[in-house]
Structure 1
Amino acid sequence: MHKFLAVLAATTLIGLATPSVFEVLQRRQAQGVETIETPEAPLEASLAPRMLRLALGPDGHARTQARLNGRAVPVLVDTGATRVALDAQTARRLGLSLRPADFTASVETANGPARAALVTLDRVEIGAVSAREVEALVLEGAGLPTVLLGMSFLKRLSSVSIRDGQLELRQ
C-alpha cells in the first residue's frame, strides 16, 4: 500500500510540474520573436443615406458627370426618360459591343422614333449614389448628344426631389 501511495504522490508531483515545463519551453521559443499588439478597430457603419445635390441649369435640367461601367461620361438627369439612354458610340466606349441585329426595340424619343438595343450596365455611379445591373437603351447611330440618366436608374433611389433650384438624389 505504501508503494502505491508513493507512486501516486510521484505521478501527482510530475503532473503538477508538467505545465511548468511547457511554460518554460514556450518562453524559450518566444524569445527573439517580436509581437505587435494592435488595438481592435471599432466597427463603423454610416446610417446616413447617400445623397447628391445637383444645381439645375438655366434650362431647368441637371447635368453632371457620371461613371457608367467605370467610365466617366457627361449625363443629363431625365425623370421623363423610362431608361438610361445612350448612343452607339458611347456604348462602344463603355465596352458594350452591339451588332445591327441587336437593335430590335422601337422607341419614341424627343427627336422622333428610333431603333434601340436593350443592354444592362454593370454599374452606374453619380457622386455617392450608385446602382448595379441597370437597364439601358442604346440608340442606333449618334443622334443622342448626351447620356440620359432615366428612371431605370432613378427608381432605385429612395427619393428624387427638386427644391430651391436643386435636384436631390437620395439612396
Structure 2
Amino acid sequence: MNDLTQPEIVSLLFYGALALWLAAAIPRLFRGRFMAGLAALTFWIIAFLVVITGYSYRDELRGVASHVIATVVPGMPMQVSASEVAVMRSSDGQFLVRGTSGDARLSFIFDTGASAVVLRAEDASRLGIKPHDLTYDVDVATANGHAMTAETTLPELRIGSIVETDVEVLVAKPGALHENLLGMTFLNRLASFTIADNKLILRSR
C-alpha cells in the first residue's frame, strides 16, 4: 500500500466497497431464483476483474490506444516516452505532423530542407498573424524549391508532448504554399530526430 498514490488507494477502496455491496445485494435481489442470481454474480465478478485488469495495465493500454490512433489518423503524434513522440509515415511517403499553437490545430510536412518553420498565410491568419501587414523579403529554401516569406515568431508550437516557445517562423505569401513545413527552427531545438521503420521519432531536450 505504501507504493500506491492517494488516488489509487481511493479507487481500490471504492471498487472493493462496490464488490462487497454487490455480493451482499445480489442474494437478496434474486431470492428464490438461484440461477439468475448466480448469473448476475458471475457477470459482476467478470466486470470487476476486467476493470481491475484495465486499471493495472492502464499505461500499456494508453500506449496501445495511442499507437492505433497514430496509425489510423495520419500525422497524429504517438507518445513513445516522456521526451519522445513518433509519427507514422503517410501513404504518400511523407511525414505529416500534426501540432498545435495556442488553440489552433496545425499540420506540417516534416522538411529538413526548410531552414525554418514555414506557415501558409491562411494558417497564419488563424493564429492572429496578419499576412498582408508582413514584409516578404526572406527567400527560403524548401524541399520543393524557393519561396519569398516574411519573418515572425510563434509564442508556442506543440507537437505531442514536445513544446517549444518563441519559435521563429516564416509566413509564405497568400496562395504560395500548399502545406506548412516543419523546418529547422523547430527541429534544431530538439535533442534529436530520427527515421526508422517508417516512423519519425522526435526527442526533446
TM-score range, shorter chain: 0.5 to 0.7
In 2: Cα distance, 1:85 partner to 1:155 partner = 14
Q: 1:145 aligns with which of 167, 175, 178?
A: 178
Q: 1:155 aligns with which of 175, 188, 198?
A: 188
Are residue 93 (structure 1) and residue 126 (structure 2) matched? yes
Q: 1:57 aligns with which of 71, 76, 90?
A: 90
Q: How far did residue 112 of structure 1 move?
A: 4.5
**Greater strand share, structure number:** 1
- Counterpart of 1:126 in structure 2 is 159
Q: Secondary structure at the match of 2:130?
A: coil
Q: 1:68 aligns with which of 101, 104, 115?
A: 101
Q: Report the TM-score when normalising by structure 2.
A: 0.55
In 1: Cα distance, 2:117 partner to 2:194 partner = 18
In 2: Cα distance, 1:141 partner to 1:122 partner = 22
Q: How far did residue 96 of structure 1 move?
A: 0.8
Q: Report the TM-score when normalising by structure 1.
A: 0.65
> Which amino acid is the alignment partner of residue 107 of structure 2?
P
- Counterpart of 1:116 in structure 2 is 149
Instruction: Give the root-mean-square deviation of aligned CA atoms.
Output: 2.0
Are the aligned partners of 2:131 and 2:173 in contact in 1 as well (CA < 8 Å)? no
Corresponding residue pairs, total: 125
> Which amino acid is the alignment partner of residue 62 of structure 1?
F
In 2: Cα distance, 1:131 partner to 1:76 partner = 18
Higher relative contact order (CA 8 A, sep 6+): 1
Distance 1:137 1:68, change over 3 A: same
In 2: Cα distance, 1:100 partner to 1:65 partner = 27
Q: How far did residue 61 of structure 1 move?
A: 1.5
5+ long unaligned stretches in structure 2: 1-5, 7-80
**Greater helix share, structure number:** 2
Q: Computing the radius of gyration over CA atoms, which structure comes out larger, 1 or 2?
A: 1
In 2: Cα distance, 1:80 partner to 1:112 partner = 9
Distance 1:100 1:113, change over 3 A: farther
Identity %: 34
Q: Secondary structure at the match of 1:141?
A: coil
Q: Secondary structure at the match of 1:95?
A: coil
- Alignment deviations for residues 86-134 of structure 1 (CA, whole Å, 9 cap, x no partner): 1211111111124355212223445544321011111000101110011
